[in-house]
Structure 1
Amino acid sequence: MTHSARDLLRTTTAALAPDPEANPLVPRIAAGTAPRATLAALALEQTWVIPADRRAFEHLAVRSAAADPEAAAFFTALAQGEALAGEHLAAFTRASSSERASYEPLPGCQAYPAYVAWLALNAAPADVVLALTANFSAWGGYCATIATALREHYGFTDEACAFFDFFAEPSPDLDRLATAAVQAALDAGRLDEKRARTYGRLLQTYEAMFWDALSATP
């Protein structure tokens, strides 16, 4: 693998990295001051996000299978990861909330998966690979912080924290697949870096909306 794809992934991730002080909720969870009702809302919002993202990634894998097999492999791995994350999420949801049937999702939290679905329908798959990979870096850091806080301040079990542990762990295989997909697109001249950064910027903005909306829950 040549170095250019890795460079592009690294520089794009750095350029789109959110201000670490901008997230209003994760520091409160880290300090143990976020109410348990907010943790319940986090779990219940994710019960909408995870299956939606899984289906979007499956659609992207199908769209790219013939012309862009490297991107298809990346999206297939993402979809499989979302399926596993959904299994872990069930334990966190059971531990934090008993109101799933009556819960009404927040628009600010569901803007992110709605945009991922838009990308699945409209964007060039290679551009989505770059945008998503840049976005995942911040999400993984948030999950690592939350996993620690749930154990230290809220008494959650390892089983209940497994959802956040899953996303907090680096994935060398996913990094390899992303690098291969970006490199193939660069070699074929079908990667629009400017558009991919626009997609990444919007993903980061919608993720910020997710945390803002949760932070405002009573």
Structure 2
Amino acid sequence: MTHPARDLLQTTTAALAPDPRSNPLVPRIADGTAPRRTLAALALEQTRVIPADRRAFQHLADRSARTDPEAAAFFTTLAQGEALAGERLAVFARACGVDEAREASYEPLPGCQAYPAYVAWLALNASPADVVLALTANFSAWGGYCATIATALRERYGFTDEACAFFDFFAEPSPDLDVLATAAVQAALDAGRLDEKRAHEYGRLLQTYEAMFWSTLGDLPSEGRGELRDQPQATRTRQ
């Protein structure tokens, strides 16, 4: 038996799958050649991304609460997830050598913050059902990146399980979220309020900004503004 919403989610995710070459950083983390200062920059950028996305998802939930309860449930769950992820992020940042003073003085990189800026634009301007479809396609790639990073942090950098929990959280499959996304897309299809072309456009831009995030971090110079120097080898695995 076919399921229109599930089929649409699968085909959209496949169509928007990123070119592996669009992410130069994760392979370097995977083989342990990315410097710890780049991991620190990743943590610092995420300290801006996570709360911004949480507020954007909550706004989408509020917008759709009356007219699109299935989408509202999806976005509420996303907002709750971002809050939980934020709690885990602080431990990763500290493991990278980021203290509160460094976090407060950090200047975020435009190429990394384009993604949450666009998510905020979607929260204000896009049809919630279209955003459900676009985000679900994007999350597939993000989850894979997080799984690779979580493994590498343990095996290549000596991070503890607690320090890897941020990436473990996103790498873990979420059947409940998949069910919510399917229900939201199906409700939109049934009501005739899903614009597949527009949703694909949103998804393509999300993937482009996601690639920009990783390439910006991957292009960081050996030393310079917006990053930390590597710690001495003797302290690399001390958490």
TM-score scaled to structure 2, two decimals?
A: 0.90
Structure 1 residue ranges without an equivalent (≥5)? none
1:141 and 2:105 matched: no
Deviations 1:164-193 (A, max 9, x none): 000000000000000000000000000000
Deviations 1:19-66 (A, max 9, x none): 123211000000000000000000000000000000000000000000
After superposition, residues 9-158 of structure 1 pair within 5 angstroms as 9-96=9-96, 97-98=98-99, 99-158=102-161
Task: Give the whole-Å Cα distance in 2 for the aligned partners of 1:174 and 1:3.
Answer: 17
Greater CA deviation, 185-194 or 21-30? 21-30
Residues 150 and 164, structure 2, Cα contact 8 Å, conserved in 1? yes
Task: Give the whole-Å Cα distance in 1 for the aligned partners of 2:216 and 2:109.
Answer: 7
Task: Give the whole-Å Cα distance in 1 for the aligned partners of 2:16 and 2:53.
Answer: 21
1:203 and 2:206 matched: yes
One-letter amino acid of the structure 1 residue matched with residue 87 of structure 2? E
Percent of aligned pairs with the same residue?
86
Structure 2 residue ranges without an equivalent (≥5)? 222-239
Write out the 4+ residue segments of structure 1 that deviate beyond 4 Å after TM superposition.
none
Task: Give the whole-Å Cα distance in 1 for the aligned partners of 2:214 and 2:20.
Answer: 13
1:186 and 2:189 matched: yes
1:162 and 2:136 matched: no
Task: Give the whole-Å Cα distance in 2 for the aligned partners of 1:6 and 1:149.
Answer: 32
Residues 22 and 215, structure 2, Cα contact 8 Å, conserved in 1? no
Greater CA deviation, 108-117 or 92-101? 92-101
Which one has the largest radius of gyration? 2
One-letter amino acid of the structure 1 residue matched with residue 220 of structure 2? T
Q: Name the count of aligned residue pairs.
A: 218
Give the number of the structure whose residues are more often helix, by fraction. 1
TM-score scaled to structure 1, two decimals?
A: 0.99
Task: Give the whole-Å Cα distance in 2 for the aligned partners of 1:81 and 1:3.
Answer: 27
Task: Give the whole-Å Cα distance in 2 for the aligned partners of 1:76 and 1:181.
Answer: 12
Task: Give the whole-Å Cα distance in 2 for the aligned partners of 1:52 and 1:185.
Answer: 26
